């Protein structure tokens, strides 16, 4: 219990640091650092999505970049049709493009959730390494489909000329957009925290530990894991939508297996099943890229060394190292 309280306090401190850093950068007239923090926040949100499946459910998915990319393309496609004033669909009914974030987020979440439902329904019939490879295979199928889709840029990607709008907020200002992304991240983290203590979260963790006992209680492990996988995909898709607006550009690289691996690295660095584990991991990833990438193109070497140190000496990641190990480790 004491370790749990310590972790809660650490989470609050980390949330304040993530909020305070960009505020200081803004008043110091360093918009680039604000944008860097925004990128870390969005990548953390993608990590939170995977952490729901991996940390709570024990589902090692190597295809979550597919949901990230689908969320991004949902924004890119609708925004491009809004820019050209061409409807996305004219029959049997008209669907126009839009640049309103609330609508774009809804579409991104629905598209990613539907994809996660289809992929999860098939992939969850397997387990272990077979599950990993099937999720990877689905992600690569979507990736190559995006490359061969010339209507929306193909391999060159698709540009978004104007950042989407949000009611009452000037999203073109770096600090305003960061605060919006930060608010989304905090709301999702609160949702995950509530879900973990709810009956569904407890059942999901029980499935991770012993599926047979859960089935003996009359519950369906398959349905529980599928629900978790869909929720996970929807959160990751929302992160992809924000990432598309941050860069004002989407491309098939958002769906590559490299990104799936990076999202998993976030979780391992910060701590698997830890609430703020993906947040810490994403911030460390962006920090390593910015600091070491400024003087060498091989900055991943230092990231790999840090990852190796965590795997060998800090199984609970950064959170576990600071707050102590718990039953999740």
Tell me what pLDDT residue 78 has: 94
Would the pLDDT of 37 be above 50?
A: yes
Tell me what pLDDT residue 162 has: 84
Tell me what pLDDT residue 231 has: 97
Would the pLDDT of 215 be above 80?
A: yes
Higher pLDDT, 189 or 329: 189
β-partners of residue 158 are 250
Closest by Cα among 188, 254, 233 to 41: 188
Contact 318, 310 (CB under 8 A): yes
Q: Is 222 buried (19+), middle (13-18) or exposed (0-12) by CB count in 10 A?
A: middle
Average pLDDT of the residues in 287-292: 91
Higher pLDDT, 294 or 279: 279
pLDDT band, very low/low/confident/very high, at 202 (cuts 50, 70, 90): very high
Distances (CA, A) of 172 to 35, 141, 166, 178: 11, 34, 10, 10
β-partners of residue 166 are 169
Would the pLDDT of 97 be above 90?
A: no
Residues 6+ apart with CB under 8 A from 57: 204, 205, 207, 208, 224, 225, 228, 229, 232
pLDDT band, very low/low/confident/very high, at 325 (cuts 50, 70, 90): low
Average pLDDT of the residues in 73-90: 88
Q: Kindly report the pTM of this predicted structure.
A: 0.94
Tell me what pLDDT residue 274 has: 92
Tell me what pLDDT residue 118 has: 97
Tell me what pLDDT residue 327 has: 43
What is the three-class DSSP state of 95?
strand
Q: How far is CA 216 from the centre of its chain?
A: 33
Higher pLDDT, 57 or 94: 57
Q: How far is CA 244 from the centre of its chain?
A: 13
pLDDT band, very low/low/confident/very high, at 316 (cuts 50, 70, 90): confident
Q: Which residue has the tokens 């009452």?
A: 168
Contact 56, 204 (CB under 8 A): yes
Q: At what angle do helices 128-147 and 257-270 cross, to 10 degrees?
A: 130
What tens digit of pLDDT does each residue of 16-27 get? 999 999 999 999
Tell me what pLDDT residue 21 has: 95
């Amino acid at each position: 219990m004491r370790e749990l309280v310590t972790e809660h306090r650490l989470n609050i401190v980390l949330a304040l640091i993530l909020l305070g850093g960009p505020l200081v950068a803004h008043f110091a007239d360093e918009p680039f650092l604000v944008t860097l923090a925004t990128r870390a926040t969005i990548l953390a949100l993608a990590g939170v999505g995977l952490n729901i499946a991996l940390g709570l459910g024990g589902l090692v998915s190597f295809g979550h970049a597919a949901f990230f990319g689908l969320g991004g393309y949902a924004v890119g496609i609708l925004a491009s049709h809004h820019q050209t004033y061409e409807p996305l669909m004219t029959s049997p009914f008209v669907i126009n493009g839009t640049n309103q974030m609330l609508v774009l987020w809804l579409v991104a979440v629905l598209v990613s959730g539907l994809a996660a439902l289809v992929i999860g329904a098939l992939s969850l019939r397997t387990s272990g390494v077979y599950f990993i490879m099937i999720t990877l295979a689905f992600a690569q199928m979507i990736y190559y489909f995006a490359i061969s889709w010339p209507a929306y840029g193909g391999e060159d990607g698709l540009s978004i000329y104007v950042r989407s709008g949000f009611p009452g907020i000037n999203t073109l200002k770096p600090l305003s957009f960061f605060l919006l992304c930060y608010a989304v991240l905090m709301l999702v983290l609160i949702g995950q925290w509530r879900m973990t203590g709810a009956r569904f979260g407890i059942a999901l963790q029980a499935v991770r530990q012993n599926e047979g006992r859960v089935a003996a209680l009359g519950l369906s492990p398959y349905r529980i894991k599928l629900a978790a996988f869909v929720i996970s995909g929807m959160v990751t898709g929302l992160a992809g939508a924000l990432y598309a607006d941050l860069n004002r550009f989407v491309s098939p690289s958002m769906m590559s297996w490299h990104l799936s691996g990076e999202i998993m690295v976030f979780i391992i660095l910060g701590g698997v099943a830890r609430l703020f584990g993906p947040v810490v991991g994403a911030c460390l990833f962006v920090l390593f890229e910015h600091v070491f990438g400024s003087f060498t193109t091989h900055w991943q070497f230092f990231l790999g060394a840090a990852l190796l140190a965590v795997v060998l000496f800090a199984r609970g990641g950064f959170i576990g190292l600071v707050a102590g190990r718990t039953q999740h480790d």
